[in-house]
Copies of this chain bind each other. A is one copy, B any other.
Amino acid sequence: MTFTETLAAAWHRNNSLLCIGLDPDPMKFPAHLQGRPDAILEFCKTIVDATADLACAFKPQIAYFAAQRAEGQLEDLIAHIHERHPGIPVILDAKRGDIGSTAEQYAVEAFRRFRADAVTVNPYMGRDSVEPWLAYADKGVILLCRTSNPGGSDLQFLDTGGEKLFERVARLVATEWNTTGQCGLVVGATFPAEIARVRGIVGELPLLVPGIGAQGGDVEATVKAGRSGNGTGLMINSSRAILYASSSEDYAAAARRVAQETRDRVNRYR
């Protein structure tokens, strides 16, 4: 199955548009995990096992692993998800972007080494920087379009001859780069009107939407702006609000509770 097919199946099977971001920050872990050499893996596995039936995808953010020299734990985590929760795709949030020969190496990192099902990629270097990723026909490539941070507007909001840069990116991806049906886009939840603009440009393309939860995006506005024709089309990401719902030993149950609430709140507006 391709990433897009796996994702569509997960949307339906778990009745969920919720993507759970895995941004493990050891300083926020419960006390009983502190100091354990495999704390990151244990923490993330516990979160994953507590929430896998509520999610349409898991999204580990590689920076949190790399900062802790924990690439090995990331490999083990993704292997665990594939083995224990088959059918839930793993999106490696890496936001890579480089020339073709280097992009090939990054694709080896993401798809062969870490065995991710999809990866986030930065579009600034253009089409040939994206093609090495697309050479993996069963994988997904989710391009940054409109990001949820304040500085996102610095470049993405520039007028490029009648459309803003992020609209141009959406149109380029939808009409020229996505020849194989592998692409998606990142569109931040802090800007529902812009999610609607992107949805209008890209048809049914899957959108990865960070920015609800800790970043404060509005769920109702996000879902109504971004849903596709059949009420799917979205991977609405929440990371910190779920991972750190409790800082005690009950963190798995607390994470499950918040994940369930979030999934259900999203479903109210599909």
Which residues of A are interface residues toward B (Cβ below 8 A)?
A: 23, 61, 63-64, 66-67, 69, 71, 95-103, 105-106, 108-109, 112-113, 122-130, 144, 147-156, 158-161, 165, 168-169, 172
Contact of A155 among B23, B98, B123 (CB under 8 A): B123
Interface pair B149/A158, CB less than 8 Å apart: no
Do A98 and B95 contact each other (CB < 8 Å), given the known contacts A126-B150, A160-B165? yes
**Cα distance, A227 to B148, chains bound together (Å):** 38
Task: Pick 5 A–B contacts, CB within 8 A, sort by A.
Answer: A23-B102, A63-B106, A123-B154, A127-B151, A158-B160
Closest B residue to A210 by CB, please name it: B99
How many copies of this chain does one complex carry? 2
Interface pair B106/A127, CB less than 8 Å apart: no
Closest B residue to A153 by CB, please name it: B126
- Residues on the B chain within 8 Å of A151, using CB: 125-130
Interface pair A152/B165, CB less than 8 Å apart: no
- Residues on the B chain within 8 Å of A156, using CB: 124, 126
Closest B residue to A149 by CB, please name it: B99
Min CB gap A149→B, angstroms? 4
Min CB gap A26→B, angstroms? 11
Min CB gap A125→B, angstroms? 5
Do A149 and B100 contact each other (CB < 8 Å), given the known contacts A123-B124, A159-B161, A168-B155? yes
Contact of A154 among B23, B71, B144, B172 (CB under 8 A): B172
Residue from the set A103, A106, A130 with the largest chain B CB neighbour count within 10 Å: A106
Closest B residue to A99 by CB, please name it: B149
Interface pair B102/A63, CB less than 8 Å apart: yes
Interface pair B172/A168, CB less than 8 Å apart: no
Closest B residue to A127 by CB, please name it: B151
Min CB gap A128→B, angstroms? 4
Interface pair B168/A149, CB less than 8 Å apart: no
**Cα distance, A152 to B126, chains bound together (Å):** 5
